[in-house]
Chains A and B, each alone.
Chain A
Amino acid sequence: MSIHQAVFTAIFAVSVLSFMFSCYRRLQLVAIGVPENRFDNPFGRLLGMFNYAFAQKRVLSRPYGFNHFMLFWAFMLLLVANGEFLLEGLIPGVNLALLPQPLYHALQLLFDLVSVAALVSVLVALARRLLFPPEYLGNDYTRPASGEALLILAMIATLMGAFFLLNGAHIALGQSGSWRPVSAAIAAIIDGLPAAVLEGVAVAAWWLHALVLLLFMNFLPRSKHMHILTAIPNCYFKNLAKPNVQSRETFEKGERYGVSSVEQYSWKDLFDSLTCTECGRCQDLCPAHNTGKPLNPRRIVHDIKVNLLKNGPALKDGRTGLTSLIGEPAEGTIGEDALWSCTTCGSCTSVCPVLIEQMPKIVKMRRHLVQEKSQFPEELLNLFENMEQRGNPWGIAPSERTKWSSQLGERGFKPGESEYLFFVGCAGAFDSRNKHVTVALATILDAAGVSWGMLGKEEQCCGDSVRRLGNEYVFDKMARENVALFKEKGVSKIVTHCPHCFSTLKNDYRQYGLEIEVLHHSQMIAQLVESGRLKPARLPKLGNVIFHDSCYLGRHNDTYQAPRAVLKSVLGKAPGEFGRNRENGFCCGAGGGRMWMEEHSGTRINLERVKEAMNGKLPDTLCVSCPYCMTMMEDGLKDLGAADVIRVRDIAEVMAEGIS
């Protein structure tokens, strides 16, 4: 064994052991989380992993993502080259040259070209971070050109440089063929040097490459570049259900509720925190962050990670951590105000390239605050008591639920007779503006000859707000009562014009054994139009129409087309769009229980959205498909003094006018 080989073997062994030890330490920290089954449906999981990790579906949804895609695949291919490099360092002579010649040459060509691609990607990334960084790369705890980011880019560039220099020297010395065009170009430059110098260059480049490679490997588990190791499994372990459907809790003596310390998170939550790449896309879309609230979903995940690293070792040994997870905001500690700022719009979870679930982590912490500490913004006390006492957020007497239908006569749900249960929802029953939407939908259903009935004063809130606010105890009670009532009445199909009721009845109630057809009115109306049962005949005078996506209909239930189809069927053309629409839509500000809370800090989310509507060609009508959006958009327009200029209409009102 040569000295060179012996020294390298020793360094290699230490590096690999140190790398494995770091990974093991990190995985041990992940293992303090509570169990969660993310092992079912392996085929579906592999498919997800392929789509999101290997095909980089979400990474590519933004133009710059292509650069990452290139770097990722360069990495994947160069894994083979680096494997060869390390192996040959350990056992000289064992290399790819042992393969059949044509294959070996093809690989040499490929590695050379891919290395150029990697180098170009790194330079683009460097330029982006240094010269034209997008705003969302930085925040209050990091900068686009952070030392860590620059170090990693420098390491990769060095690896590529050393690779070319090493191969160039080999070619110049005549030890390697010319199937490496880029290396050959380097060889042409250094060709005139004496052989001894070339030998020296080759040795230096080899060691530079070897040392940087091993250093890079050891740097990964200790930095945000851990994602290189965890992103692929993280995509495999993605939530196959809807991330917004929070897990149930059991209400028995001795149970704990929600999360106040990292070990109460599931292992997947903790794995998420180690996977975050700090790309900033969640931060870029978050309505709270965009309007100056103390919440940044990226920071939530970052703080969970910091807290895990600080407290994990103690927690692992059964002691308590010294850094509290919730408290005065600091590195590793999340402020309560941040938690209450979330609208649960889901933009963070739907944009994250590596499928981190930020928002559910927030709800888990809310659960702790509400259920174990009774600590929440004071406006919520009324909400919680109204929900418990009168089954609706306003605390209005249940007997008032049917007031909107006084003109319609008796429209109770008749078991065995009514086909659809019209779940009116609290806003549809009590809010004076939204009652018009309820009447419009009833008119539409009647016009199309749909058989429907409602529960009247027996109807109770679906519990959406209390669940997202972390009051699972009250939600659990309401869900059980509602499901029992639906079953007792023999309800098999539900239609509702509130996306929050829709999503809760359809997705959350599955946990309570309710698996029936639940339609949002946009879907129902679109179906009725398509089947010819509804024929819009009149063009309502709406002028320019712009459509605003509801988060609970769009992002949480992937329903983007139905409301647009409804509008198109009446207007004869597709409605106008906001700059941020569909998956990138911007919340109205009322989800996640924010409907019932004041906005104390920053600017108002609804104002930001309304201003966006007025950015381009001024619309005459702003169309919504959700009672909360209705309230928020109308309030926003009133605040801007534009309520007379732009009218807010629900798609049902537009359709009702179109068929009258």
Chain B
Amino acid sequence: MLVISCIKQVPDTTQVKIDPVTNTLIRDGIPFIINPYDSHALEESLRLKDRYNMRTVALSMGPPNTVATLRKACALGVDEAILLSDRCFGGADTLATSKVLSAAIERLDRQEQVGIVFCGKQTIDGDTAQVGPGIASRLGFSQLTLVDRIESIDFLHKTIRVRRKLEGRHEIVEAPLPVMITVVRELNRPRYPTVPMRIESQETEIKVWDNSVLELDVETVGLKGSPTWVSKIFSPERDQGEIIGDGIADPVGTANLLIDRLLGKDLLAV
């Protein structure tokens, strides 16, 4: 049974700034990283490999330089890494992205039955949290989002039991395989690659599937297949702050001033 982790290469958003004039992301010289949530998805797929000897595949859609991120996945121990890359896939929104990823998963499923697809709960650049659920819907897989623990897998009856992390509570649910799971950070602690694995991964072949492999209708993928358009990106304007009191000369008085001010704005519970 195959375990797939879908990973995305994203710009290191802590380093991304928005150009105040054009309102676009300044991406020049910003390093790419693996989407942090996806690194937990990848880790969980590797843990299943370690535990149940399941074959793992890392899947990513992106421009050719995404190979670097997939190589890191190889250094961590995935059995196979596949890049879905084609000019016609570019500019995709979540709908078009999930279409390409689903097509690739279907293709893999024809060779070996796919049991679990792991995705990060969302990416740190788009923050939509829609691609994972999109894949589940398209493929008709069970959909388990925000998972922070795999409770058990019953291979005989083909079911999985997981814990979901919701606001203020946990939920334990069971679903039939195959399943698409989106994961939160609490699920696991990603491993660190060993040097021999890093060096070996330099030579690992990263398969690239373009549309000649997936054979999708070009009108349904990439920019053309994306009903969502980003019309504008901007930094929200913030009101200018102010300095109240003198924290060094009168710390207690200043703290009281601050409390009064916050109460006045109804920002503190009495």
Contact = CB atoms under 8 A, between A and B. Distances in A.
A251 interface: yes
A399 B189 CA distance: 28
A255 B197 CA distance: 11
A319 interface: no
Given A389-B33, A398-B15, A251 B199 contact: yes
Which size class do B's interface residues fall under? 10 to 19
B121 to A, nearest CB: 20
Tell me if A's interface is mostly helix, strand, loop or mixed. loop
B194 A374 contact: yes
B12 A390 contact: yes
Contacts of A376: 192
Given A251-B199, A252-B199, A389-B33, A371 B15 contact: no
Given A374-B192, A378-B189, A381-B192, A473 B198 contact: yes
B193 interface: yes
B195 A371 contact: yes
Nearest to B192: A374
A399 B14 CA distance: 10
Contacts of A374: 191-194
A460 to B, nearest CB: 12
A640 B58 CA distance: 51
A371 B194 contact: yes
A390 B13 CA distance: 12
B189 A389 contact: no
Contact of B192 (A257, A384, A390, A398): A384
B18 to A, nearest CB: 13
Interface string A248-283: 000111010100000000000000000000000000
A374 B192 CA distance: 6
B194 A397 contact: no
B195 A372 contact: yes
Interface in A278-328: none
B20 interface: no
A374 B195 CA distance: 9
Contacts of A389: 12, 31, 33
A617 interface: no
Interface string B186-227: 000111111110111001000000000000000000000000
A373 interface: yes
A376 B203 CA distance: 27
- The winner among B31, B33, B192, B194 for most chain A CB atoms within 10 A is B192
Nearest to B193: A374
Contacts of B31: 389-390
A461 to B, nearest CB: 15
Nearest to B199: A253
Interface in B1-55: 12, 14-15, 17, 31, 33
Interface residues of A, number: 23
A372 B194 contact: yes
Given A381-B189, A389-B33, A257 B15 contact: no
A443 B239 CA distance: 34
A386 to B, nearest CB: 11
Nearest to A256: B196
A71 B195 CA distance: 50
Contacts of A255: 196, 199
A373 B195 CA distance: 9
Interface in A429-479: 473
B200 A253 contact: yes
Nearest to A397: B15
- The winner among B17, B190, B195, B200 for most chain A CB atoms within 10 A is B195
A389 B15 CA distance: 11
Contacts of B17: 399
A472 to B, nearest CB: 8
Nearest to B13: A397
Nearest to B195: A371
Contact of B15 (A370, A373, A399): A399
Contacts of B14: 390, 395-397
Given A389-B31, A389-B33, A251 B12 contact: no
Interface string A364-379: 0000001111101010
B127 to A, nearest CB: 19
Contacts of A381: 189-190, 192
A373 B194 contact: yes
A381 B190 CA distance: 9
B195 A257 contact: yes
Interface string A388-408: 011000011111000000000
A473 B192 CA distance: 12
Contacts of A395: 14
Nearest to B197: A374
Interface string A45-75: 0000000000000000000000000000000
Nearest to B14: A397
B195 A473 contact: yes
B116 to A, nearest CB: 24
A470 to B, nearest CB: 11
A353 B253 CA distance: 61
B9 to A, nearest CB: 13
Contacts of B192: 370, 374, 376, 381, 384-385
A376 B192 CA distance: 10
Interface string B164-196: 000000000000000000000000011111111
Contacts of B15: 390, 397-399
- The winner among A252, A384, A390 for most chain B CB atoms within 10 A is A390
Contacts of A370: 192
Contacts of B198: 473
Nearest to A258: B195
A398 B30 CA distance: 10
Interface in A237-253: 251-253
A398 B191 CA distance: 25
Contacts of A372: 194-196
A399 B199 CA distance: 30
B70 to A, nearest CB: 17
28 contacts: A251-B195, A251-B199, A252-B199, A253-B199, A253-B200, A253-B203, A255-B196, A257-B196, A370-B192, A371-B194, A371-B195, A372-B195, A373-B194, A374-B193, A374-B194, A381-B190, A381-B192, A384-B192, A385-B192, A389-B31, A390-B12, A390-B14, A395-B14, A397-B12, A397-B14, A399-B15, A399-B17, A473-B198
Shortest Cβ-Cβ A-B pairs, 6 listed: A371-B195, A397-B15, A374-B192, A473-B195, A374-B194, A397-B14
Interface of A: 251-253, 255, 257, 370-374, 376, 378, 381, 384-385, 389-390, 395-399, 473
Interface of B: 12, 14-15, 17, 31, 33, 189-196, 198-200, 203
Given A370-B192, A390-B15, A399-B15, 5 more contacts: A252-B199, A255-B199, A372-B194, A390-B31, A399-B17
